[in-house]
Structure 1
Amino acid sequence: MQEKLDFDKMPVVDSIQHKTFGITYKNQTITGIGLYEQGLTKFPHDIISLQNLQTLQINNNQLESLPESIGELTNLVELYVRQNNLKSLPESIGDLSKLQVLELTSNELKYLPENITNLKNLKELTICGNNLTTLPESIGDLSELEVLNLYNNKLTSLPESIDNLKKLKELSVNKNCLTFLPDTIGNLRYLEMLELTFNNIEFLPESIGELSRLQKLFLNNNSLHNLPDNFKKLRSMYLLHLAYNNLTTFPESICKLKTLKLLNIAGNKLSSLPECISDLTKLNILDLKSNQLSELPNNIDKLTSLQILDLGNNKLKYLPEKICYIKTLQTLKLYGNELKDLPKNISKLKNLYYLDISDSDLQSFSHEVKEWLEEFDEKATLYIYSRGKSV
C-alpha cells in the first residue's frame, strides 16, 4: 500500500534542498517537495497528482522502488533519490521528458533501463555508490548531458558511444574497475574535468590529447607506466593528479603543459626529474613525495610561482643551491630523506613559513644552517618540525 501525505501540514519553504522537509509554491501550485529522512518505505502515491511538480527530493529514506506512475510527473525537472534502497528504476523513468537533474547516489542499482536515454533534456546524471557493472550503449543518446558522475560502482569499461555526449563538461568514474578508456573519449571536446582515480588503468589512449578544454585531470591510484605523447596537447590543463601509479620516469610531455598550477606525482618510482620541468613557470604546488629521487635539477629555481614543494620520503642527501632562489616558496617538506645539510643560502627563502626536515641527521648540518634553523624556529609565525636529533 502506498504511503499518503497531508500537504496541508507540510511547511512552506523557499527552496527544496538536500536536507529539506517541506513544499514550495508558485502561483498557489505546489512546485517542489522535500521529504528528507522521513522513514518512507513506499513512494507516497499522492505526489503523482501534483502535475505541476518540478522538483522532488526524497533522500535518506528506505524506498526499494519507484512506481511506474512516476512517469506521469511530466513537468519534473529535478529528481533526487539519494540514500535509499532502490534496486531498479521503472521503465517509465524515460517519460520524464523535462528532467534535467537525476540524482541516485547510494542505492543498490545494478543496471540502468535502456529508456533512461529518452531523457533528452537531462543535464546532470549522478549514480554514485551503486552496483553498476555496465552502462547501456545508448547512454550516448543523452545529448544534453553536461555532468556524469559514476563514482564508486563496479564498471569495467565505458561504452564507445560515450563520444556522443558532445556537451559533457564533467565525467567522474572514480573508484570503479576500469582497465582502459575507449579511444572515442577524445571526442568529448567540451570536457573540462575528468576523474578516474582508484581504477586499474594501465595506459591512456592517444586520443586523450584531443581534449583541448580539459582543465582538471585526476588519475591517481591507477597502474599507469607512462603517458601518451599526445598528452602534451592538453594546453588548458591547470590541475593534474598522477599520484600512486607505476611511473618510473617523469613524462616529459607534462613539461608542455604551460598552464599547470598543481602537479601531484607522489607515490611513483621516479629517480630523477628532467630539466624541462623548469618550463612549468605557473606551477604553485608540486607534490613529489614518496618517490626515489636522489637529486633535483639545478634549474629548479625557474619554477618562479612555486609556493608548496613536497619532497618527503625520497632519497635526497643535498638540495641544489638554486632552490634558495624560489622567492615564492612558502612550504618546503623534506621529511624522510637522507639530508646531510641544507643549502647555505636557505635564509634567502624570505617567504618560507613551514619547513619539515623530520628524520634528518641534524648533527651533520653546518653551523650556519643550524643557527638559521634556531632563528627560524623562534619566529612566532614560522614553524619547523624535526623529529630527528635536536638542532
Structure 2
Amino acid sequence: MRHLAISSNWEGDECELESTVELSRIRSLTVFGKWKPFYISEKMRFLRVLDLEGTEGLRNHQLEHIGELLHLRYLSLRGCGYIRSLPDSVGNLRQLETLDIKETSITMLPRTIIKLRKLCCLHAGRGPGGIEDNCFSKSKYICEIQLRLCVACCSLDLPKMEGFGRREGCHIACCFVYPNIIRGIDGSGVKLPRGTRKLKALCTLRYVHLAWGNAIIKEIKGLTGLEKLGVVGINKKNGPGFCSAISSLSHLESLSVLSADSLNGCLDGMSTSLVNLQSLKLSGSLEKLPGWIKGLQNLVKLKLELSELSGNLETMQVLGNLPNLSILGLWEEGFEIDVFQFQTGLFKRLTVLDLFYSNMKIELVEFQKDSVPNLEMLTLSLGSTQIAFSGLELLESIKEVWLSFHHPWVGTPKSSKNGENEKMSKQLYEEVKEEEKRNKPGQDKFREELQMQLDRNENQPVLKMQ
C-alpha cells in the first residue's frame, strides 16, 4: 500500500495503524477528521504527499519535525485554523513543489522558505479582507480582543487544549495579532520574506498582503515566471508600485486583486502589456472600470466583486466587446439599479454568467434579443426576490439555470474537505430557519415566474435549485 487515507470515523490506535500498513512504503497520506500525533511516523521517510486539509486539532508544535520528510512534494494545511506559523525546518523540504496554507492563521512565512527552489505553487491567506480603520477603532478592537483573551485565560482548561496554553495565547496576541491590527493587516494575505524573488520556479502565488510595504512588491517584481498571482491590501499608496511590478510579469495568465475598501485610483497605472492574461478578479468598489481592461483581448474569465458597476452601460459595453470573454461573475451588495440590460450584439462568446446579489434593489434584469447568444449556464444567487427578470425565453443557447436564495447577513456556506459547512451557533441556525419560513412564499412565486419564462424557450432549459 502506497496511498493511505485515514477517515474521520476511524478510532484505531498507533499499534493498529502499524499492524495494518507497512508505514515505510507509504508515499501519500491524507487525513480526514481529527488529528492524532502518531499519524505521521518517522518510518514515513519517503512520504511525497501530505494532505492535512481541514484536519481538526492540528497545532503548531505538531509540525516541528515536518522538515524531516525530505522527499515531500505536496503539503496542504488548508483550513487548519490553529496553525499560525510554519517551523524553520520547512526549508529542508527541497523537493517541495506545492505548499497550501490557505485558510490558516499564518500571516508571515519563515525566512527559510527561500530555500525551496522547486516550489511551483504557494497558496496562502484567506482572500478578501483587510482592516481599513482609523487609530481609534484599531485601539478599540485591540482592547476587545485583550478582554476576551483575559477571560479565556482565566477559564482555560490546559489539559484539553493540546499544547495551546496561556503563554502561547499571549505570545500569539502580542507578536502576531496586535501588530497586524496596527499595520492594517489581517489574515487575508501573507508577508513574503526577503529573497522570495529567488524562487524562479514559482508559477502560482496567492494571496500576498501588500500592506507590509514596498519590499513585498519588489519581491513580486522579481518573480518573472509567475503565471497566477493574488494580492490583497492594495491602496492608493502602494498601487503605483504594484502596477509597475506587474508590467514585469509577462507570463501572467491569472490575476486577483482584492481590497477591503476601494480600488479607485489603485489600478490606473497598470500596463497594457498583460497580453497573456486569461483570468481576472477584482474585489472592491470602483467608480469606473480601469481603461486597460478593454485591451485584454485574451481574457476568458472575469469576476467583479462589490464593484458597484453592474448596470453601468459604459462598463457593460467594454466587457461585452471583449472578444474571448466566456465566464463572467458579478457579485454585488448594497446599492440600487433601475434596469440592468444585456444589450443586443454584446458578450458574443459568453457561456457562463454568475450573478450574486445581496441587499440589492433591482427593478429589472433584461436580456435583449440576440444578446449573449452562446450563454449555456446562468447562475442566480439572490438575497431578495424583489428582482424581475425578462428575456430568458430569448436566450438561444441556454441549457440550465441555477437558482439559490441566501441571507444577506449569513452569506453562502463554505465547505471543507470533510464535506462539512462552517459551524453556526444554534441561535443563528434557528433565526435562519425562521427567516426561510417567512421568505418561502415569495421565493416560490419568484421560481414559478422564472420557470414560466424558461418554458417559453425553445431549448427547454432546466431550472435547478441549489
- TM-score bucket (shorter structure): 0.5 to 0.7
Q: Mapping of 1:267-306 within 5 angstroms?
A: 267-270=306-309, 271-274=312-315, 276-288=318-330, 290=332, 301-306=345-350
How far has the Cα of 1:96 moved from its partner? 3.0
Shift of 1:305: 0.9
User: If you compute each CA radius of gyration, which structure gives the higher value, 1 or 2?
Assistant: 1
1:109 corresponds to 2:94: no
1:241-274 CA deviation, whole Å, 9 max, x = no partner? Answer: 224x121111121112111122121421334525
**Higher strand content, 1 or 2:** 2
Q: How far apart are residue 212 of structure 1 and its match?
A: 2.8
- For structure 1, the residue ranges without an aligned partner over 5 or more in a row are 1-12, 21-34, 357-372, 386-391
Paired-residue identity, %: 21
**1:302 Cα deviation from its structure 2 partner:** 4.6
Paired residues for 1:304-319 under 5 Å: 304-309=348-353
Aligned to 1:237: 277
With over 3 angstroms needed to count, the CA separation of the structure-2 counterparts of 1:261 and 1:133, relative to structure 1, is closer
Structure 2 residues not aligned, in runs of 5+ = 127-185, 403-450
Give the paired residue count.
Answer: 332
CA–CA separation in structure 1 for the residues paired with 2:390 and 2:25? 70
Give the letter aligned to residue 348 of structure 2: T
Distance 1:208 1:136 in 2: 25
Distance in structure 1 (CA, Å) of the matches to 2:28 and 2:398? 50
Structure 2 Cα separation of the partners of residues 350 and 266 of structure 1: 27
User: Cα distance, 1:222 vs. partner?
Assistant: 3.7
Please name the residue that 1:213 is paired with: 251
CA distance in structure 2 between the partners assigned to 1:135 and 1:91 by the alignment: 15
TM-score when normalising by structure 1: 0.64
1:37 Cα shift? 4.0
**Cα shift at 1:134:** 1.5
Contact 1:37/1:59 (<8 A) preserved? no
Distance 1:258 1:295, change over 3 A: farther
Residues of 2 paired with 1:86 and 1:341: CA distance? 50
TM-aligned CA deviation for residue 122 of structure 1? 1.0
Q: Which has the higher contact order (CA 8 A, sep 6+)?
A: 2
Distance 1:339 1:74, change over 3 A: closer
Q: Does 1:85 pair with 2:58?
A: yes
Q: 1:97 to 1:168 in 2, by over 3 A?
A: same
2:19 is the counterpart of 1:16: no
The residue aligned with 1:118 is 92
Secondary structure of 1:273's counterpart equals helix
The structure in which a higher percent of residues are helix is 2
**Whole-angstrom CA distance in 2 between matches of 1:107 and 1:42:** 29
Matched residue, 1:252: 291
Deviation at 1:280, TM superposition (A): 0.8
RMSD value over aligned CA atoms? 4.8
Write the letter of the residue equivalent to 2:58: N
Contact 1:191–1:214 (8 Å) recurs in 2 = yes
Q: How does 1:136-285 map to 2 (within 5 A)?
A: 136-152=110-126, 154=187, 155=189, 157-173=191-207, 179=211, 182-196=217-231, 199-202=232-235, 204=239, 205-206=242-243, 207-219=245-257, 222-223=260-261, 224-225=263-264, 226-243=266-283, 245-270=284-309, 271-274=312-315, 276-285=318-327
- Cα distance in 2 for partners of 1:19, 1:113 equals 24
2:286 maps to a residue whose letter is L
Question: In structure 2, what is the equivalent of residue 351 of structure 1?
Answer: 397
Deviations 1:158-214 (A, max 9, x none): 33433222112323339xx76465332133333333345xx5443651212333333
Deviations 1:108-127 (CA, angstroms, capped at 9, x unpaired): 32222223112111112223
